[in-house]
Chains A and B, each alone.
Chain A
Amino acid sequence: MADLTPAEVRSLVADILTELSGAGMPTPSAPPPRIPTPSAPTPSVPTPSVPTPAGAGTPAAAPTAAAAQALMAGASPRPQTGPTPRVEVADPTADRHTLGVLDPANPTGLTNLAASTGARIGVGRAGSRPRTWSMLLFHADHAVTQDAIFGTVPQSVLDEFGLFAVQTQVANRDEYLLRPDLGRLLSEEAKATLDQRCAKRPNVQIVVGDGLSAAAVTNNLGKIYPVLDSGLKAAGLTVGTPFFVTFARVGVMNDVNAVIGADVVVLLIGERPGLGVADALSVYSGWRPGPGKTDAHRDVVCMITENGGTNPMEAGAFVVEHVRAVVAAQASGIDLRLLQAGER
């Protein structure tokens, strides 16, 4: 630039002004700019399902932009829409071992390395950035966790099992995240409702809470609840009136039992979603929960999900057996373990 004469600069400015006015736009007959595709077409990794780059066909927005250009240039209008391409994406979460390195030094070795860990390796790169497929998969895994945390359990799910809903002292989802202490306390209204509607002093009280994953309750309740309910009754235990607690933390068990007076409280509650596993349920149980009782007095079965965790029906059966042991020992948590250790 420094070598330009004033005349050349004026000429350049004139050109730019012409182009900005629209007269210098590319003619409609000029070919549309080529969409660059990643440098190598198909990875040579011997994995069958390496996806082709998304949108390898004409991007949907391109015809519209071209039409706008044509109109600005005063040329005859072009069709407003092109033919819709056929794009049918198979669930990318079905096979997570897809490798993205374009030309690995040791293809078999890379496959073996990737198989040795759940970490997202062998993903390759686009420049220094992740490849499209692995980037989208990561964001999809985060998206499903957000839907789980910031979603709600549908009324139909509660109706199916005859659960009525009460609320903790938390007013909304934001406060739930900010004030864990309030999620452990029932509202006065909730206490009155429980007092009015629930059977008192049962052997077992089942409580369902949303916790940090509505999806955990929505996806698993239908499988685990019938096993739990019928299993406990078959074991000769009385089961109290079940209900749902909105904005619940685990510690709400203590407050619940101040009203109910059960021997054992069983709380089914959504876990904080991990990336890609958004519907894991936990079952907490404890012998006579009350003020001052902590996790040390409770037992938990966690990671209950059909997506790579404990099967909900099996978990239900396990919890039934566990509750029988708690009732027999009249203890839970660390107290139960100490008793069991003493017996050995």
Chain B
Amino acid sequence: MTDGILAATLFGHRYEFRDIKDLLAKANEEKSGDRLAGIAAESAAERMAAKFVLAEVTLETLRANPAVPYDEDEVTRVIDDAVNEAAYGQIKGWAVGELREWLLADTTTNEMIRQAAGGMTAEMVAAVTKLMSNLDLMLAASKIRNVKHCNNTIGLAGTLGSRCQPNHQTDSVEGIRAAVYEGLSFGSGDSVIGINPSDDSVGSVSRLLEMTHEVITRWEIPTQNCVLAHVSTQMEAMRHGAPLGLVFQSLSGSQKGCESFGINVGMLDEAYALAKRYAVATGPNYMYFETGQGAELSADAHHGADQLVMEARCYGLAKRYDPFQVNTVVGFIGPEYLYDSTQIARAGLEDHFMGKLTGLSMGCDVCYTNHARSTQNENENLAVLLGAAGVNFIMGIPMGDDSMLSYQSTSYHDAPSLRALLRMRPLPEFEAWMEGLGLMRDGRLTDRAGDASFFLAR
């Protein structure tokens, strides 16, 4: 953009933008993290002026202007190298405003979107998101079905999964087992039985993998287990024979951000190869990633780009490993990045749409911390919006209160409630299993459900 110009006149006032990165940042919906970074629009009118300009920018321009240059950042390289040139050739002349209307058109189908998405980079995905309203994001996302398989099938139309998240302050095997039983009795655990450990050692992580695997085997549950330790710890546990269903890692949208998490593309490649060899799963999808807007800024690894662009880049990186599931942990980061329930809800809808458009099996940890301006009521609101938008899975946590991570998310009660409200079902293999045990009938909980002690019978 050396001799170009990016400007708009709005209500008689002229606004000019330095470069594509500046334009993208100023076109972002309001986020406290972009203000903290000093890159947000200075007024609501300037934000709208940026959106008008962005609507005219072509996808080709966005590919040529990644948030971090190709030669300097391996995340940029992973994303750009994965572009399907045939698909790109068909869309590169589109303006971002046209892309929005094409996505929303009644004649544009799931297959058409998935084909075109092969030609997109993260900056294109983020750019169109900035032009979409909340309902746009929901409607467009609801068209896209990304179906994946590990030991069961996630992402089918009309299904809503629930990760059973039975965390314990000190990783007590018995305490976690009790919370797993509670979750299963509510129909949570079809996406994964996934524990955030407080102790990242190979020994402790292996113990939790063995316990959850034992429960899965004893009760013949069509699901997979995961302990969300650092990927290097899980690799070590796999090499020592620990029974693991999904390999987990938190991702960042820049090489520097990934380095702050102690990972790089080479390490993730190795983890993926190990998972294919050692995971106790049918596959072909073996990976699980978490992301969340603002993480790059908190590691000073955002390269002056806004948090939506950096989040989209996480999804571009995730796509390399064709994961079984990905979720944004949307409200975990705190009010200096997403101030209140309005910003958290917006980010949740954006992330879900961007993940789906990138081709991922996208879920959401619908959550907030105690110092954010939000409440459980507003958390439930976002869960319903995401359910209506076709989110692949949400979290299941005892009463939504994570006693280890000290934040609030969705309860074991919430997936069954959303399934009833939105006429959805658990993942099909899991539903059949619940029905076989008499815990569910026609996709709804029976009188025996919601009782952890049911699972003391075997």
Contact = CB atoms under 8 A, between A and B. Distances in A.
A101 B451 CA distance: 6
A274 B447 CA distance: 33
B172 A117 contact: yes
Given A109-B453, A142-B375, A178-B35, A117 B176 contact: yes
A141 B336 CA distance: 23
A121 B413 contact: no
Contact of B401 (A122, A138, A149, A212): A138
Contact of A106 (B167, B182, B453): B453
B411 A179 contact: no
A130 B448 CA distance: 15
A124 B375 CA distance: 22
Interface string B330-370: 00000110010000000000000000000000000000011
Contacts of A127: 417, 420
B405 to A, nearest CB: 10
A100 to B, nearest CB: 9
Contacts of B406: 272, 274-275
B42 to A, nearest CB: 16
Given A117-B168, A123-B399, A125-B186, A272 B370 contact: yes
Contacts of A344: none
A203 interface: no
B403 A119 contact: yes
A200 to B, nearest CB: 34
A248 B51 CA distance: 38
B342 to A, nearest CB: 14
Interface string A106-149: 11011001101111111111011110001000110110011001
B285 to A, nearest CB: 29
Contacts of B416: 128
Contact of A119 (B339, B370, B398, B447): B398
A231 interface: no
B178 A116 contact: yes
B398 A178 contact: no
A128 B182 contact: no
A105 interface: yes
B111 interface: no
Contacts of A110: 451-453
A272 B32 CA distance: 19
Chain B interface size, as a band, is: 35 or more
Interface in A257-291: 272-275
Nearest to B457: A105
B370 A113 contact: no
Contacts of A134: 399
A156 B179 CA distance: 44
B335 to A, nearest CB: 4
A272 B371 contact: yes
Contact of B403 (A117, A123, A129, A272): A117
A177 B401 CA distance: 22
A274 B404 CA distance: 10
A120 B399 contact: yes
B411 A130 contact: yes
A104 B401 contact: no
B420 A149 contact: no
A177 B454 contact: no
Nearest to B178: A113
A180 interface: yes
Given A121-B398, A128-B417, A274-B406, A107 B453 contact: yes
A294 to B, nearest CB: 14
A271 B456 CA distance: 39
Given A106-B456, A113-B178, A116-B172, A138 B399 contact: yes
A139 B401 CA distance: 11
Interface in B390-421: 397-401, 403, 406, 408, 411, 413, 416-417, 419-420
B203 interface: no
A139 B453 contact: no
A146 B450 CA distance: 30
B174 interface: yes
B434 to A, nearest CB: 13
Given A113-B181, A117-B178, A272-B369, A178 B417 contact: no
Nearest to A113: B178
B376 A138 contact: yes
A242 B336 CA distance: 30
A142 B376 contact: yes
Contact of B370 (A101, A120, A179, A273): A273
Contacts of A121: 178-179, 182, 398, 452
Given A124-B450, A125-B186, A275-B401, A117 B175 contact: yes
Contacts of A106: 453-454, 456-457
Question: Which of B401, B419, B447 has the largest count of A CB atoms less than 10 A from its CB?
Answer: B401
Contacts of A129: 413, 417
A310 B19 CA distance: 54
Nearest to A124: B450
Interface string B160-171: 000000111100
A195 B178 CA distance: 57
Nearest to B418: A128
B58 to A, nearest CB: 35
A79 to B, nearest CB: 35
A275 B335 CA distance: 17
Interface in B82-96: none
B351 to A, nearest CB: 21
A149 B370 CA distance: 8
A128 B178 contact: no
A319 B401 CA distance: 32
Contacts of A275: 370, 401, 406, 408
A120 B398 contact: yes
Contacts of A114: 178, 452
Given A101-B451, A116-B177, A149-B371, 12 more contacts: A101-B453, A110-B452, A119-B182, A121-B178, A121-B179, A125-B450, A127-B417, A139-B376, A149-B370, A177-B339, A272-B369, A272-B406
Interface of B: 32, 35-36, 166-169, 172, 174-179, 181-182, 186, 335-336, 339, 369-371, 375-376, 397-401, 403, 406, 408, 411, 413, 416-417, 419-420, 444-445, 447-454, 456-457
14 contacts: A101-B453, A105-B453, A106-B457, A114-B452, A116-B174, A117-B174, A119-B175, A121-B398, A128-B413, A129-B413, A177-B339, A178-B35, A272-B406, A273-B370
Interface of A: 101, 103-107, 109-110, 113-114, 116-125, 127-130, 134, 138-139, 141-142, 145-146, 149, 177-180, 212, 272-275
